[in-house]
């Protein structure tokens, strides 16, 4: 990706598309890749707004597949051009589609109306509403969800789309009736016919940038390339809007030089306009004093663990205060937030082992998630299980970062996804090198070809650990289904409880 400023011209001429009619001229919407977190939420938005919705996906797994089934949205398992006959009024093309994708090819060659996810979201749902966009390498989903919840509890009924399922309401989207639309601003590209970052489409009135660290090495050529995308994004925020920047990240604060917007800095580092003091951490979450412009503004409780989540909460405070919410109203909303599925989500406990699920798939996210688990369950042994599944997360550039990310774990198990047909092995991590690096740092580690091969040695490790140290947390991290490892592990542990194995020697 080069010359972000030129992208509207450079990347929209390659594949001509018919113009998109006004929203009220569309009735039938088809989504290619409907079970992705963003696409599934968009499907729900369209249905909630009264459109007929259907779609297809090759990777159909919970929680999104379950959610779509509950909504009664038809989903084809696998792709076929026949799914687009009769033709829908609109085809939303997921960004995993290549120009050769069978359904994308059919839509293009038959002149069907096509949009990317961010184009459709802006055209049908954001439109002229007050758009609040949360961007950043890490923390987008939690920050967006918490902001939505605070606005909801204040009675403002925002529209929103977030890349995870909120435990309050069990939803990830809403059309809403209020003036706001809140959206998670992803920096990944939009579609094969539009390589601009998604967040370039979202017309921000105000925005947050939580963090900046090189990511998505499959589409960004360099750190400079990645940084340019964020500079282009903050330039979209208008002078009357607010840009909330994390004061703990120098790269984020430097964005102040690239926006016409008003700027407020939040964080725990000195000099923040919005900060926290007197932080008291418990297993249930974090109590803190909200400080605004060096003055105590209120006492808040955040039911989430980890320093990163405290920063996310301060981001929400910064934006919500600017939108006119009082500290008391913010505190009331924050205290009732139940979190997001797949973010330190407890899936169950058996045989003294607590099984926890998380979406982390970047070295920094892995490190902070492990630290948050340590903070939440300090008396338990911590075993980390990680699947670097995505095309970006397993890149060679992150090998050293992962080597350092697991220092707070007592043991680590990796599952190694197979290479895709067009992958170059030299572009991706060497799992043997990664395992050896962890072992040199004193962290026992092993790599296995898949979840099935990983499960037996993991059970052996848990049995041996239980004999020595007692209760354990197994933290399973993946941005996919991980072959249902969570439930398979809980079932195996429950079987052990009914028929205990002999202690390991």
Query: Is the bond preceding residue 78 a cis peptide, omega within 30 degrees?
Result: no
What topology does CATH give the domain 345-497? 3.90.190
Buried/exposed code over 332-355 (b: 16+ C-beta within 10 A; e: otherwise)? ebbeebebbbbbbbebbebbbbbb
Query: What residue ranges of the chain are covered by domains with CATH 3.40.50.720?
Result: 14-119
| Contact status, residue 93 vs residue 115, Cβ threshold 8 Å | yes
Kindly list the distances between the CA atom of residue 286 and the CA atoms of 142, 245, 308, 352, 377, in Å, as whole numbers in the listed order. 15, 22, 12, 26, 14
CATH no. of 14-119: 3.40.50.720
Closest CA to 388 of 438, 444, 433, 431: 431
Model confidence pLDDT, tens digit, residues 381-438: 999 999 987 767 777 878 888 898 899 999 999 988 765 656 676 778 788 888 999 9
Give the pLDDT score at 67.
Answer: 81
Closest CA to 125 of 154, 168, 164, 162: 162
Residues 6+ apart with CB under 8 A from 478: 359, 361, 386, 387, 389, 415
Would you call 71 helix, strand, or coil by DSSP? helix
- pLDDT lower than 50: segments of the chain: 1-13, 501-505
Closest CA to 246 of 301, 294, 181, 316: 316
| Contact status, residue 197 vs residue 186, Cβ threshold 8 Å | yes
72: left (phi over 0), alpha (psi -120 to 50) or beta: left
Residues 6+ apart with CB under 8 A from 497: 350, 351
Would you call 472 helix, strand, or coil by DSSP? strand
- Homologous superfamily of the 128-335 domain (CATH): Mur-like, catalytic domain (3.40.1190.10)
Give the pLDDT score at 436.
Answer: 92
User: In three state form, how does the secondary structure of 19-47 look?
Assistant: CCCCHHHCCEEEEECCCCHHHHHHHHHHH
Residues 6+ apart with CB under 8 A from 213: 137, 138, 251, 362, 364
Identify the helix (H) or strand (E) that includes residue 300: strand 295-302
Q: Quick one: tokens of 361?
A: 């798939």
Give the pLDDT score at 496.
Answer: 74
Query: What residue ranges of the chain are covered by domains with CATH 3.90.190.20?
Result: 345-497
């Amino acid at each position: 990706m080069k010359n972000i400023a030129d992208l509207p011209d450079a990347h929209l001429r390659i594949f001509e598309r018919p113009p998109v009619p006004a929203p009220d001229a569309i009735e039938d919407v088809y989504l290619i890749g409907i079970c992705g977190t963003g696409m599934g939420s968009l499907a729900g938005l369209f249905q909630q707004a009264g459109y007929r919705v259907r779609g297809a996906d090759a990777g159909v797994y919970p929680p999104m597949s379950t959610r779509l089934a509950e909504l009664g949205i038809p989903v084809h398992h696998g792709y076929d051009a026949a799914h687009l006959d009769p033709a829908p009024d609109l085809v939303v093309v997921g960004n995993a589609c290549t120009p050769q994708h069978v359904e994308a090819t059919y839509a293009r060659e038959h002149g069907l109306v096509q949009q990317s996810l961010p184009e459709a979201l802006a055209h049908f749902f954001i439109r002229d509403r007050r758009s609040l966009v949360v961007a950043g390498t890490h923390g987008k989903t939690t920050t967006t969800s918490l902001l939505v919840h605070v606005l909801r509890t204040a009675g403002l009924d925002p529209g929103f789309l977030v890349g995870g399922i909120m435990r309050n309401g069990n939803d990830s989207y809403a059309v809403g009736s209020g003036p706001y639309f809140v959206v998670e601003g992803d920096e990944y590209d939009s579609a094969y016919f539009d390589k601009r970052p998604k967040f370039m489409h979202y017309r921000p009135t105000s925005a947050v940038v939580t963090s900046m660290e090189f990511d998505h090495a499959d589409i960004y050529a360099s750190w400079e390339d990645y940084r340019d995308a964020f500079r282009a994004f903050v330039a979209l925020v208008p002078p009357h809007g607010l840009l909330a920047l994390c004061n703990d990240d120098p790269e984020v604060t430097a964005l102040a030089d690239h926006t016409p917007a008003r700027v407020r800095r939040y964080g725990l580092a000195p000099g923040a306009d919005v900060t926290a003091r007197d932080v008291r951490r418990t297993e249930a979450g974090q109590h803190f004093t909200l400080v605004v412009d060096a003055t105590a503004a209120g006492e808040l409780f955040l039911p989430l663990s980890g320093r990163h989540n405290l920063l996310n909460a301060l981001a929400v405070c910064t934006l919500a205060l600017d939108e006119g919410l009082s500290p008391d109203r913010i505190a009331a909303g924050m205290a009732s937030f139940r979190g997001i599925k797949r973010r330190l989500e407890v899936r169950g406990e058996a045989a003294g082992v607590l099984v926890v699920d998380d979406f982390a798939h970047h070295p920094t996210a892995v490190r902070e998630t492990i630290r948050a688990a340590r903070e939440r369950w300090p008396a338990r042994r911590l075993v980390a299980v990680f699947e670097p599944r995505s095309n970006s997360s397993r890149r060679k550039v992150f090998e050293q970062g992962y080597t350092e990310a697991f220092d707070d774990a007592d043991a680590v198990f990796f599952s190694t996804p197979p290479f895709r047909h067009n992958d170059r092995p030299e572009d991706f991590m060497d799992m043997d090198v990664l395992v050896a690096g962890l072992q040199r740092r004193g962290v026992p580690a092993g790599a296995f070809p898949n979840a099935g091969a990983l499960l037996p040695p993991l059970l052996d490790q848990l049995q041996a650990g239980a004999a020595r140290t007692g209760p354990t947390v197994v933290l399973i991290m993946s941005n996919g289904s991980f072959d249902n490892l969570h439930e398979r592990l809980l079932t195996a542990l429950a079987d052990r409880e009914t028929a205990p194995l002999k202690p390991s020697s």
